[in-house]
A = this chain, B = another copy of it.
Amino acid sequence: MKHIEIVTIGNELLDGMIVNTNASYLCQQLKALGLTVSAYHAIPDERNVLKRLLKRTLLESSLVICTGGLGPTLDDNTRQVAAEIFDSGFRFDDGIAAALRERYGNDLASLHNQATVPAKAIVLPNSVGTAPALIFEGASVTLILLPGPPLEMHAIFEQSVIPYLQVRLPEIGKRVTEYLILAASREDEVDPVLRELQETLPNVDAGIYAKLGSLTIALSTFQEDAEARRELDQAKQVLMSRFPDRVVFTKRGKIEEDIQELLIKNNATLSTAESCTGGSIAAALTAQAGASQYFLGSVVAYSNEVKKRLLGVKQSTLDEHGAVSEEVVIEMARGALLATGSDYSVAVTGVAGPTGGSDKKPIGTVWLGVASRHGIALTWRLKVLHGDRAKIIAYTVNVALCRLWQTVNTF
């Protein structure tokens, strides 16, 4: 049984400025490799704290992964501390330096610093930022140092660390992971089904990744084992039959990708009309490279005036039914089709709070609509209970994307 610990480094983790997505990302990635993390830690940029914790975790673990503290600045101690523990000197890496010069030119102040690496470390280039990742191989333990910025860390982990681990820890075996998304589902509804699957299909490792408003089910098994692959297909079938109206087929668990692929395949265009989500649906969709091939634009109609001016929502509809109503969301969705000329549109209007709730329409009441040029207009009423503003918005975005995919995939 491997003992794996993660050490996340950075003062910003401890003053509550950010949530620790690096730790959860690494836990998730390792789980997909069939590895379970035993513990993770968050500590400030203090070399003595880091050194003490690293020494202890290295003694107790077979794999330790650190994030943060690899930059060129004063409080970046990780390289130095790791080199001391592994009794390593430093060398100047011409390859890293050349790559940095190529990308940043000669005026990168931190070039010499970032290209100076521990002599005993394996160096993994950073294709996004400046700090390379480093691997120290001890007799019974491996230490992997990754940069803190998530974009850089993700790129290096997926490009270099996973292949490295598959060689270094052969007992992992190459694994394949397939994903399903379940719209508007709660963990406690799906968890019993997964427990069942784990008994009937022992070769399939199932993970639930709960987002507000959707669950991503990751089913992984051994790539080269035909029987295991059959079990994985069975597991998918079971989930599809248990939750028929909620399933979104997804390549990588990233529904924005699936929506883009589907609309481009159908040669169709999309727009959004957003009130309470404030542009978050459009932002999620356009975060994908190539979104301009199908996404035309969005009207974020926060005030009623803008709903009327840009989406043609009728004053009478607002008066009769209120801004948060099925009638208004349909006018918003149809208005987006007209305003942008798109084939499909998704619209939302709701009460995100913390004020503006009423007995009839409490905070968390959201109307969602999907319309098409051919006249279809489907609506859903969401009730996001016990949610603060951020939760209500995130929940609405995820459900909207799922329902959009399902509508385009069906009609």
Residues in chain A within 8 A of chain B (CB atoms): 11-21, 23-31, 36-44, 49, 53, 71-75, 103-104, 109-110, 128, 149, 151, 177, 187-189, 191, 194-195, 198, 207-210, 216, 218, 253, 271-272, 274, 277-283, 285-287, 289-292, 295-303, 305-306, 309-310, 339-341, 353-356, 385-386, 388-391, 393
Contacts and interface: CB of A to CB of B under 8 A. Distances in A.
B39 A41 contact: yes
9 contacts: A14-B38, A15-B31, A16-B207, A19-B20, A39-B42, A272-B300, A286-B302, A289-B389, A292-B303
A386 B286 CA distance: 20
A42 B42 CA distance: 9
A227 to B, nearest CB: 23
Interface SS, A side: mixed
Contacts of A207: 11-12, 15-17, 75
A386 B287 CA distance: 17
Nearest to A104: B386
Contacts of A73: 187-188, 191, 208
Contact of A282 (B42, B149, B278, B285): B278
Contact of A151 (B16, B309, B388): B388
Contact of A109 (B12, B29, B188, B280): B188
B188 A309 contact: no
Contact of A14 (B37, B104, B290): B37
Nearest to A278: B286
A188 B72 contact: yes
B303 A297 contact: yes
Contact of A386 (B151, B296, B310): B151
Contacts of A299: 297-300, 310
A29 B16 contact: yes
Nearest to A111: B188
A41 to B, nearest CB: 5
B188 A253 contact: no
